[in-house]
Structure 1
Amino acid sequence: MTLQEAPNEVDAPVAPHRDSTFYSDHVVILVEDSLFKVPKRPFVEGAQVFKDMFSLPGYAETADGESDDKPLKLEGITKDGFRALLRVMFESYHQPPEVAKSVHELSTEEWVEVLKLATMWEYDKIRRIALANLTPRFEADRQSTRWLGYARRYEVREWLVPALCALARRPQAIQLDEVDDLGIETVVRMAEIREDHRMLNANTTGLRPYLAYDLVSVINRVFAEELLPSSK
Structure 2
Amino acid sequence: MISDDQQRPKIRQDETQASDLVSPPPPPAVKHHVFYFDDELVVLKVEDTLFRVHRHFLKMHSKAFCAMFSLPPDRPTEGKTDTDPITLTHTKAEDFARLLTLFYPKNIRGGDLTTVSEWTSVLAVSSRWDFEVYRTIAQEKLSQLASPIQRILLSRQFDVKEWLVPAFLELCVREEALTLEEGKILGMENVILLADVRQAIRGNGRVTLAERAVVNLIAAKLG
Distance 1:172 1:82, change over 3 A: same
Aligned partner letter, 1:41: H
Q: Deviation of residue 118 (structure 1)?
A: 0.8
Give, as a single letter, the amino acid of the residue that structure 2 aligns with 1:185. Answer: E
Check whether the contact 2:113–2:119 (CA below 8 A) recurs between aligned residues: no
Change (3 A) 1:133 1:203: closer
Trace 1:114-193 onto structure 2 (pairs within 5 A). 114-138=122-146, 141-142=147-148, 145-170=149-174, 171-173=176-178, 175=180, 178-179=183-184, 182-193=186-197
Superposition misfits of 4+ residues, deviation over 6 angstroms: none
Percent identity, aligned pairs only, is 27
Contiguous gaps of at least 5 residues in structure 1: 1-18, 93-99, 225-232
Question: Structure 1 residues 193 and 118 mapped into 2: Cα distance closer, same or farther (>3 Å)?
Answer: same
Structure 1 residues 5-20: aligned runs within 5 Å: none
Q: Is the 8 A contact 1:49 1:122 kept in 2?
A: yes
Deviation of 1:195 (Å):
1.9
Q: 1:178-217, aligned counterparts within 5 Å?
A: 178-179=183-184, 182-198=186-202, 201-202=203-204, 212=210, 214-217=213-216
Cα distance per residue 1:94-138 (max 9 Å; x no partner): xxxxxx894344322011100111111111121222223222213
Correspondence for 2:66? 51
**Equivalent pairs, count:** 188
1:222 aligned residue: 221
Residue 89 of structure 2 is matched in structure 1 by 75
1:156-204 CA deviation, whole Å, 9 max, x = no partner?
Answer: 222111111122234223636645x545433332221122233xx2187
Distance 1:151 1:88, change over 3 A: same
Give the conservation status (yes or no) of the 8 Å contact 2:116–2:142.
yes
Q: Quick check: 1:48–1:122 contact (8 Å CA) kept in 2?
A: yes
Unmatched 5+ stretches in structure 2: 1-32
Asked if residue 90 in structure 1 is aligned to residue 98 in structure 2, the reply is no
Q: Corresponding residue for 1:13?
A: none
Structure 2 distance, partners of 1:163, 1:27, is 40
RMSD: 3.0
TM-score computed with the length of structure 1 as normaliser: 0.69
**Alpha-carbon distance in 1 for matches of 2:105, 2:150:** 28
**8 Å CA contact 2:98, 2:113 repeated in 1:** no
* Matching of residue 111 in structure 1 with residue 126 in structure 2: no
Helix, strand or coil at the partner of 2:65: helix
Give per-residue Cα distances to partners, 1:25-84, cap 9 Å, x unaligned: 11111122221100011111211111122223x425364311100111122222221111
Partner amino acid for 2:114? L
d(CA) in 1 for partners of 2:126, 2:169: 27
Find out whether 1:28 has 2:33 as its counterpart: no
The code of the aligned residue for 2:59 comes to V
Question: Take 1:168 and 1:219, find their aligned partners in 2: how far apart are those partners?
Answer: 9
> Which whole-Å CA distance do the structure 2 matches of 1:174 and 1:195 have between them?
17
